[in-house]
Structure 1
């Protein structure tokens, strides 16, 4: 099920930013629009790439939420710069099977994704990170936290000068933890992001254990367990 406006705990909120939601499914668009408005965003809707282009030429948006399943989505990317003067950050809504296609296209802090079926809490959290811009989890060179760096263009990771030999599942897990640095992620959230469905506690524990052996060979330890709640990434002595 898609998330609802009654999800708990408290959701990440906006500060009046204008967001363009480009979703073909009317029911999903309604859920997103209602939720974002309750979270203090100004929302405009488009159901096709062509309609989205019209909106983009008429208004300046701080962020776009885009369903990659739209058949004419490419029209937005092909639009010349004079037509679309400002291209805001993009949060993609994508099926798990489409990750291989969109991951190489993720930019330096300008694009991110959540997998469908999505949870509203995760959509809002990813939007908040994108709107913070390069000063948060992103900077030139890719996603980073301290000496841990992910390069989405090459799907590579390193800790300091040491390259991390990660499997695709480990990479997706590390990216999910990094984008949500200092935020505790449940096993279900992690599983749905990495595999598209819930694989069970043991599979997640094994995946986290393998990732820890690669990431936390160097001090300080960055991947932590909040027993009974889930996992989080960050310095234990740093402020959230």
Structure 2
């Protein structure tokens, strides 16, 4: 009986993670598909924003890899549409790391980004990290910050009993700050804790997600009291 239970548990762990690749360049789409499938991912493809939304209406995915510069319905519009109804993690693909597309894509609701040209190892690191943190449980107990109740196990945040609609990345960011309340966490530390690897000093991910988080958890986002800025250091949830 114990052996059978172990096999069942292993089978559950081996369930393929599903990725929707949205890319209009057939060569890049094929390369990404082959790279992910070799690593055991279940991959679906879309060559346009319209096709991507059809896929998303028909099934759930663990992550969406989304090119921003698509013909017709572009990646920014697709990302905003995803965020209307879903917390599915989105990794956007941009042409240049110093482009305004990075900030615009994050503001539209993307969780992470990768820039072209990219190497398979970098892409896999992004996808693995985002699917791992979306599926992993959390060791923190229920956390209370003012009138917010944060439940890592249920992946929920409520204010006076009413749920707040946070993405998985926004939720993880809030949990990390709340678990260390009273202590300022640097952008680099938050990048490591929430995104899972080093971004070589690129703080845009943290700053944009903090702005998005504040819009949802602060009564007055212009004067935050839940997530405050510690100048020259980072962010904290006051004790």
> TM-score under structure 2 normalisation?
0.51
Runs of 4+ in 1 over 6 A off after TM superposition: none
Which one of 143, 148, 152 corresponds to residue 173 of structure 2? Answer: 143
Give the aligned CA root-mean-square deviation in angstroms. 4.1
Structure 1: stretches of 5+ with no match in the other structure = 1-13, 150-158, 196-212, 216-240
SS class of match (1:143): helix
The equivalent of 2:210 in structure 1 is: none
Across the two proteins, how many residue pairs are aligned to each other? 160
| Cα distance per residue 1:65-113 (max 9 Å; x no partner) | 10112242255356599xx965622111123112222233446xxx222
Aligned ranges for residues 115-130 of structure 1 at < 5 Å?
115-130=115-130
The equivalent of 1:46 in structure 2 is: 46
Partners of 2:106 and 2:189 in 1: CA distance: 14
The equivalent of 1:190 in structure 2 is: 200
Asked whether the equivalents of residues 148 and 160 of structure 1 are also in contact (C-alpha less than 8 Å), the reply is yes
The equivalent of 1:100 in structure 2 is: 103
Partners of 1:103 and 1:85 in 2: CA distance: 17
SS class of match (2:29): helix
Q: Name the one with the larger helix percent.
A: 2
Shift in alpha-carbon separation, 1:142–1:119, aligned structure 2, 3 A? same
Partners of 1:194 and 1:175 in 2: CA distance: 10
Residue 21 (structure 1) shift: 0.2
1:76 aligned onto 2:78: yes
> TM-score under structure 1 normalisation?
0.51
Partners of 1:113 and 1:119 in 2: CA distance: 14
Structure 2: stretches of 5+ with no match in the other structure = 1-13, 139-167, 205-231, 235-239
Shift in alpha-carbon separation, 1:68–1:41, aligned structure 2, 3 A? same
SS class of match (1:55): helix
